[in-house]
Amino acid sequence: MEQQYDVGRGGTPAIARPRITEVEQHGIDTIPAHHRHSRPLDLFRIQFGGANTFATVILGTFPILLGLSLWEALAATLLGVVVGALFLMPMGLFGPLTGTNNAVSSGAHFGVRGRIVGSFLSLLTALAFYSISVWVSGDAVVGALVRLTGIEDSDLLRGIVYAVLGAIVIVVVIYGYAFMLLVNKIVVFGNTILIALGAVAYSGQVDLGYDPGPDAYALGSFWPTFVLSALIVMGNPISFGAFLGDWSRYIPAETSPKRLLGATFSAQLMTLVPFSFGVITATLVSGEADYIVALINASPAWYAALLIVVAFLGGLSTGITSLYGTGLDFSSVFPRLSRVQASLSIGALAFVFILVGRLAFDLIASVNAFIGAIVICTTPWMVIMTIGYVVRRGHYRELDLQVFNQGRTGGAYWFASGVNWRGMAAWIPAAVLGLLFANYPPLIQGPFRNVAGGVDLSLLVAIGVAAVAYLVLIKVFPEPRYVFGPDGPRGVPASDSPMPEVVDDHGASAHRQRHRAPAVGE
């Protein structure tokens, strides 16, 4: 199918805009300039659309479930969103500069083979948020159907709804970026309006003075419970860290960094809409075992019907944004798989995880543990990437980032057999020590969780270790001058050494050639 080409003002080059019914051809290869058809506004839409869902609403209920008052819960939510957004903002800068996703871009700081760390974080996040989105959206649809039609709830019914929702997500992911952008454009407006109608549906029921008292604090006292609540909320913006490059790679390289930073920060602030909905409605059904079923039963019939739409659109949006990037990235980690095949494989794995996790394990405990692992492991990775961006002055070599994906060796980011041990030596201890200090009961409880009276120090430890270790390592063991570009490094020394020549790894290259996806026009 032919692409649409738009010529810019003043005779600027034509931009190819794919049709939404056209299967995306690009994988993690560098996006050519004439295919960069997105804007910072699109980055805003995808982030907000991907978070304006029942999955985010569920995260918003946690501060209340953990025993905070309404106003304490809202304060913890605001803190978690703002702090998470500040760490996330720089992660939208890499895609326009490198033309690829953040996992591949991280090869500049972890090595073209060491970037597997980013791929692992992408997989962890995709499994968690794809599963959460299908779980909670499917449960909301089932609950509303039971309320409105009288159909009997059952594991079979839930499994069917999960399968339908999960299959639609995979179909959209296969079509790719343009279709995903359309879905998120709809969700930005549609779900915002539908959630706002909740103010009408629950008017007169909300108790602004809701406070279960100090005996309700899940961790025994205020500050440990407040910090844990903020960290759980923070997991939502942090979860986008591995994925922002999936979407920003379609934005022109000359786009102002301020506009990219602003798009991310404002999108995350807008997630306070679904978060606040979760906080406030959780007070209405406090003490109930199943938040979704209890909320639907407490809703007027007209709003219970609307919740089906909210849940369905939200499940699509969150599932798509989570699964798309992982399928994209793993098509390069496993060269036998095309982007479409990788998406199908990861989607199938995630669906098995959904069924086992939902039917055999405690949903709240599972979500709590996954969010904790994502925050602790991803934040130090983002810190290292951000420091690297600053000291490199935003200079990246697009072609050299792709050598491993193309079955070659060498280039600016080859370092030691494809691994930059400076980045790895900073990230590994940061993530490990963070987990040792973590307190995400009952599944993640590190041995040092009580050193501050029960206050969770895992994030501070992970961030501090990553930042200090990486800065010390790149000062004591300077990186090669050729990775910094013509203006040289900012604030750190550089070493003088020849750049490894890019050569074919004949075995890997032939393997990739046999199993690569067809190029456009083939």
Give strand pairing partners of 419. 416
User: What's the confidence (pLDDT) of residue 491?
Assistant: 96
What is the reported pTM? Answer: 0.87
Phi-psi region of 116 (alpha: psi -120 to 50; beta: other; left: phi over 0): alpha
Radius of gyration of the chain (CA): 23
Q: pLDDT grade, residue 331 (50/70/90)?
A: low
Burial of 441 (0-12, 13-18, 19+ CB in 10 A): middle
Span 260-282, average pLDDT: 96
| Res 12: pLDDT | 42
Q: Which amino acid is residue 324, in one-letter code? A: Y
The CA distance from 33 to 31, in Å, is 7
pLDDT of residue 414: 97
Report pLDDT for 218.
Answer: 92
pLDDT tier for residue 2 given thresholds of 50, 70 and 90: very low
Paired with 15 in beta bridges are 6
The pairing of beta strand 408-409 with beta strand 503-504:
antiparallel
Q: Is residue 400 part of a domain?
A: yes
pLDDT (tens digit per residue) in 229-239:
999 999 899 98
222: how many CB neighbours lie within 10 A of its CB? 14
CA–CA distance, 450 with 248 (Å, rounded to integer): 40
Provide the pLDDT for residue 105: 95
The encoded tokens of residue 325 equal 């990037």
pLDDT in the model for residue 520? 33
Confidence of residue 512 (pLDDT cuts 50, 70, 90): very low
Nearest to 240 by CA among 382, 116, 335: 382
50 within 8 A of 184, measured Cβ to Cβ: yes
Residue 522 placed within a domain: no
Extract the tokens encoding 240: 């986008």
pLDDT over 90 percentage in the chain: 50
- Which residue segment(s) compose the domain that 434 sits in? 4-515
Helix H or strand E encompassing 14: strand 14-17
Q: What is the pLDDT of residues 289-318, one digit of tens each?
A: 788 889 998 999 999 999 888 888 888 888
Exposed (0-12), middle (13-18) or buried (19+): which is 94, by Cβ within 10 Å? buried
Per residue in 158-169, pLDDT (tens digit) is 888 988 888 888
Between residues 53 and 106, the one the model is more confident about: 106
Name residue, tokens 């409880």. Answer: 445
Give the C-alpha separation, 154 to 149, whole Å: 14
Q: Among the ranges 83-87, 358-362, 513-517, which has the highest mean pLDDT value?
A: 83-87
pLDDT bracket for residue 359 (50, 70, 90): low
pLDDT band at 19 (very low <50, low <70, confident <90, very high): low
pLDDT tens for residues 386-414? 999 999 999 999 999 999 888 899 999 99
**DSSP run (H or E) holding 263:** helix 257-270
Give the pLDDT score at 505.
Answer: 72
Q: Is the pLDDT of residue 448 over 80?
A: yes
Establish if 146 belongs to a structural domain: yes
Residue 506 has pLDDT above 60, yes or no: no
Integer angstrom CA distances of residue 157 from 139, 165, 310: 10, 12, 19
Residue 430 lies in a domain: yes
What residues does 503 pair with on adjacent strands? Answer: 409
Predicted confidence at residue 341, as pLDDT, reads: 80
pLDDT(11) > 70? no
Residue 197 burial class via C-beta count within 10 angstroms: exposed 0-12, middle 13-18, buried 19 and up: middle
Higher pLDDT, 430 or 307: 430
Axis-axis angle for helices 301-333, 339-360 (nearest 10): 130
Closest CA to 276 of 186, 201, 370, 196: 196
Q: Is residue 39 part of a domain?
A: yes
Sequence letter at residue 95? G
Answer for the pair 26, 178: CB distance below 8 angstroms, yes or no.
no
Could you say which DSSP state residue 19 is in? -
CATH number (domain holding residue 383): 1.10.4160.10
Cβ atoms of 309 and 194 within 8 Å: the answer is yes
Query: Which residue, among 422, 406, 428, 436, has the nearest Cα to 502 in the 3D structure?
Result: 406
pLDDT band at 509; cut points 50, 70, 90 = very low
Residue 520 covered by a domain: no
Neighbours of 300 (CB within 10 A): 11
Is 363 within 8 Å of 135 (Cβ atoms)? yes
Residue 386 lies in a domain: yes
Rounded CA separation 327/316 (Å): 16
Q: Which residues contact 264 (CB under 8 A, 6 or more apart)?
A: 43, 44, 47, 85, 88, 89, 91, 92, 240, 244
- C-alpha 38/C-alpha 23 separation (Å) is 17
* Domains contained in the chain, number: 1
Q: Is the pLDDT of residue 507 over 60?
A: no
Long-range CB pairs of 281-284, under 8 A, 24+ apart, other chains included: 281/57, 281/61, 281/198, 281/202, 282/60, 282/61, 282/63, 282/64, 282/65, 282/73, 283/64, 283/70, 283/206, 283/207, 283/210, 284/202, 284/205, 284/206
CB atoms within 10 A of CB 109: 32
Please report which confidence band the pLDDT of residue 93 belongs to, taking 50, 70 and 90 as the band edges.
very high
**Structure tokens that stand for 511 in this block:** 């393997």
Instruction: Note whether residue 521 is domain-resident.
Output: no
Higher pLDDT, 123 or 257: 257
